[in-house]
Amino acid sequence: MNWQIILAISVVTYSISVLLQRVLLKNDKSDPIAYSIVFQLLTGILIGIYAMLSGFSTPSLFPLIPNLILMTILYGAGNVFIFSALKIIDASEFTILFASRAMITIIGAIIFLKESFSVQQALGTLLIISSVVLVSWKKQRLAFNKGFVFSSLAALSFGLAFTNDAFVLNNFDVPSYLTIAFIAPALAVWAIYPRSTMRMKPLLEKRTLWKLALLGFFYAISAITIFLAYQIGRNASQIAPLSQTATIITVLLSIIFLKEKTGLLNKLLGAIISFIGVILIK
């Protein structure tokens, strides 16, 4: 199976997880940090079960300690920045700013992973990011405030984290690494915010826990397949912008299943622009 098909599975399952989150947890008022910790731990456990069944294995960790520490810091801080941003700005504005993480990953892949990136691929990347902006735009301008800063820091953290992950996965089994990559940052955030423990109780109730497990299942598939795609293609600079099409797929699924037709013309135009961008990047 080629990397494009595996990446497509990742994009679709991620879009499904976002859609399910909007439907299943629509009226959920859980503390965002507590939610992040529980969700990451649950997803990490699900991936860990798969890793155990397929043969959990790790290389010599000593040479990778700096990268593992960096992974924990970047994902832990990135999640905190995300929640801090979403408390201040709209989800649409955050989506636009967070899309810039693709550019961070591309720059990181070129510098640290020595990947090549053509003018055609750069044009495709700009088209995909433009499509994300088009379908998410709801305001006349982006305000430079704390929300802008937190969103940009989140994009920087996740963009660099993907590059770091790509480097580590040159020596690591994907499910085994992702088990650590989900659980370690969650524990780090938990250690920084110990008071969130008391706010986890509603999330552990049976009615909510099964919803989180379902979301975690699809998110786990998405995470595993995106890194499997990288292990086959060795092309983080292509995968990063292509993964942004998940925003467009989510919007289209929302039109079909949730009947969300506001700004329909922009959404359809965004899908067309994104499709052209995908063709250029491939």
User: What does the pLDDT read at residue 24?
Assistant: 73
Confidence at 171, pLDDT banded by 50, 70, 90? confident
> In whole numbers, what is the pLDDT of the chain averaged over residues?
90
Residue 46 pLDDT level (bands cut at 50, 70, 90): very high
- Count CB neighbours of 23 within 10 A: 12
Would you place residue 142 in the very low, low, confident or very high pLDDT band (cuts 50, 70, 90)? low
Q: What is the pLDDT of residue 22?
A: 77
Least confident segment among 44-58, 185-199, 262-276: 262-276
CB 36 within 8 A of CB 237: no
Judge whether residue 27 has pLDDT over 70: no
Average pLDDT over residues 254-263: 82
29 CB burial (10 A radius; 0-12, 13-18, 19+): exposed
Arithmetic mean of pLDDT, 15-34: 80
Question: What pLDDT, on the 0 to 100 scale, is given for residue 197?
Answer: 94
